[in-house]
Structure formats: C-alpha cells, structure tokens
Structure 1
C-alpha cells in the first residue's frame, strides 16, 4: 500500500526475521527492527531508528496484537487468589497507546506537509471493539479501549494537523488462532479477506477524516461505524463541558 506509492517503510515486529523478509520484498529502502509492543523502551528505540533513517514519520500504524489467553484458571479446589494474566491488555491496548503517543510526539515536531498534515496514524482494532464477545473478555476489553481511544483522541488531533483512525476487521487468517478455526470460517464463507482491510487503511491516506473506526466484514466491504448517540441534549452539553475543561491537558507547554 505504502511502498507502491514510493513511501519508505520501517517494519517493527517481535519476529525480526519475518519482518526483514517482508522489508526485502518491499525494497525501496525498507528495513526492519525488532520490537516488543508491550515495552515502552523497546518501542522508543524502534521509533528512534525510524526517525534517524527517514527524518520524519508521515504514517504510523499500531497493529500489534495477540489473542485471548486464560486470564485466570477455573479451579474450584483453589484456596488462593490468582493474579490474572493481562498480557492481552499490555499488547493490544497499552502497546497501541505507546505507539500512538510516540507518533504524536514525533509528528508535533514536524512541519505540515503540502496537504496541511503533520502525520497520520491508523491503528488496528477489531469488531470485538464494537460487540459483546462473552468468551474473550480481555481481548474484547482491549479492543473496546482502542475504539474509545481513536474515537476520542482522533477528534482532537486534527487541531494539530494529525489524524487518528482505526480499522476494525472481522476474523482474518492470522497467527492468533489455529488454522482449523480459519478453515471452518472459510468453508462457511465468513472469513474476512485481507484485501478489505488494506482497502480500509488506504481510505485514510488521501483525506482528512479522523476519529473514525472502519468496520470490515467478510464480504470485503467496509464502512465507518457510528458511535452510540448521546442519551439527550443535556448529555451532549456535559460531553462538551468535559471537552472544554480538559482541552488544556493537550495545549503546548509554556
């Protein structure tokens, strides 16, 4: 998507070998760095390498993700409390926020391009960020968090010449689950193809929309998923008051 437009690419991934293979295929100066998405220092080092190589970052894509784990064991005989495994939150939500906030800091230092942008950020969320999925509660919580972050911060950032959006696919064939699961969905005709996801990401490149979450379905189409409407006009006024009260948190330091 980007390389075909002549954009130079840095791929950051835990799997350095796989990322480097992809970079080699892309050519045009693409390179790979190893990163642990859940670790701030690791992400910072990756960003610094990309900035050193390119001078500026026009597009940033926080797309790291892992699937649901057993947060706590269901052991009726247990007599002690178990700390839950929240690795999914650390990667799928905290990691996305790390990437986005690194991107915002870098883009604030950059001059606007010919179209008036300092940079564009597009994250990967999931339809689990919209719907109730009872057996994957931690993953669903993380994706709801990404959707809420994008819909909120994405409506502020254009004031600074930055856009923030998300793509929310249905189930894709990835390494998150086992092949048999994807095979079964494919047989039913409800497995989402990667092309629809790429098309959704591409839709952010040449326009100024921000704060939008694109739902991508098994039929390949995508559309912006509207957030829930306010309960009444009084609620709208409360939200406006919170916006006005909190705007100072994002203003330049004096």
Structure 2
C-alpha cells in the first residue's frame, strides 16, 4: 500500500475497459478506493471484481449529461467517501474527412471528450477544495497536441481538454490541487482496434499492415500499452508530483516533443 493513496477515493471515468480499467487497477493496487464510472454498469461490475482491496463503487452515467453526472458522483460518495482523485478518461473517437464531418459528429466529440471532463471536474472539486488537496488527471491525446488528418472533431475536443487543464491548473494552483493531462499516442485499446478495422474495411489492406501504419507514427515503432498510461497517471496522483501542474505529458514514444 502507498500512504499517498490508501483509503482515498479515486473516480475513474470510462472505467469499463482499456485505459480506464487499467488506471483503476493501478490506483487500487496503491490502496485507493475506486469509483468506477461509465455507461455500461455490467462491464463496470466486471472490472470491480478484478480490483485488489475493497470498498470500490460503481455508477453508470453519461458524462455529457449534467444530471447524470451529479447523480453518479453522489452515489459514489455514498459508497467511497469524498473524492480525492479524478481521472477524466471517458472519451470517444470517430473519424471523417472534414467536409463530411456532420454537426452531429462534431457535437458528439465535444460532448463526450470535453464537456464530460468539465462536468466531472465541477462535480469532484467541492470535495477537493474542502480537503485542501486533490488531483485531477485528464486523459487527452497526442491528437490534442499536434492534430491528425480526418479526426478534426476529436482533435479539436482534445485540444480543448488541454486548454481546460492549463486554465484550471492556474485557478487551483494555491488550493493544493494539481491538474494535468496525459496524452497517449496510439494505444492498444478498443478505439485503436476499431480504427484498424475501419482501415481494413475501406482499403482492403491486411490487419497487420494497418496496425503497422498506426505503430509507425510512434518513433519507437510500437503501440503504447494501457499500463504505461496508467503508470503516468499513478505518478501524477502521488505526492512526488505535487509541483507538477498544468502539464500535458505525452506517452507516445517521442512522437510529440
């Protein structure tokens, strides 16, 4: 157990799979009580069964809906206590050429990736302000640092997450609360697997060739693993990172420098 985490309530959004589930397991292993938040309650329950320790909570919610977020945080407080750590991981990626990007797709990307982070931060902050300490980590993307073709809506939303991170970090700098972003490159998740399938379907290329193309963006020529992202989050939530705030930390093999 790590004294910096033991007994502290860490809410992880988008926790049912991929990076979110790995973050939940990593923080639970440090002794935190995990509030698992996502759309699929059954999937969240399956993740809870894999977490070490006890006292973990589950709440189903749409992070883009204010009433849903408020109800979820109230339920998680009842189960796990005041929120000490928030990891805004919930996100969605859809691709389309810019001129074929509908208003609906645009709004959907902003709602899930950006508005969700805003709403969850507002829901968690009262507990942190009362305690005089806290950690917020927003899972952004290298797409929020440099942009990619054919994902203008997603990239704009993730750029917004980084802007939110920087502004909120300054506002909270004297409150004992740090706010940072972790920016993974292409990571071994359902989102990447869907992107690979999309390339295969549209081009007829093999799955191996499509995956190699994504890996080639990384100077290390590899796909990032969820555990690598989770460990960056763990460090940012610990005491050793108390002076680190307002930063966007790339986990991408040198893709962004």
Q: For this structure pair, what is the TM-score category when the shorter chain's length is used for normalisation?
A: 0.7 to 0.9
Counterparts of residues 50-65 of structure 1 (less than 5 Å):
50-65=76-91
Deviation of residue 106 (structure 1)?
Answer: 2.8
2 CA distance for matches of 1:194 and 1:74? 31
- Corresponding residue pairs, total: 210
Equivalent residue in structure 2 for 1:144, among 150, 159, 174: 159
Equivalent residue in structure 2 for 1:93, among 114, 125, 145: 114
Instruction: Tell which deviates more after alignment, 65-74 or 138-147.
Output: 65-74
TM-score by length of structure 1 reads 0.74
Deviation of residue 74 (structure 1)?
Answer: 4.2
1:21 aligns with 2:53: no
Is the Cα contact below 8 Å between 2:84 and 2:127 reproduced in 1?
no
Greater RCO, CA 8 A, separation 6+: 2
1:127 aligns with 2:142: yes
Report the structure, 1 or 2, having the larger helix content: 2
2:250 corresponds to which residue? Answer: 215
TM-score by length of structure 2 reads 0.74
Q: 1:169 to 1:74 in 2, by over 3 A?
A: closer
2 CA distance for matches of 1:103 and 1:167? 19
**What's the CA shift string for 1:113-148, capped at 9, x where partnerless?**
xxxx2x111110000111032311000000000011
Question: Please, which runs of 5 or more residues in structure 1 have no aligned partner?
Answer: 76-81, 226-254
1:8 corresponds to which residue? Answer: 33
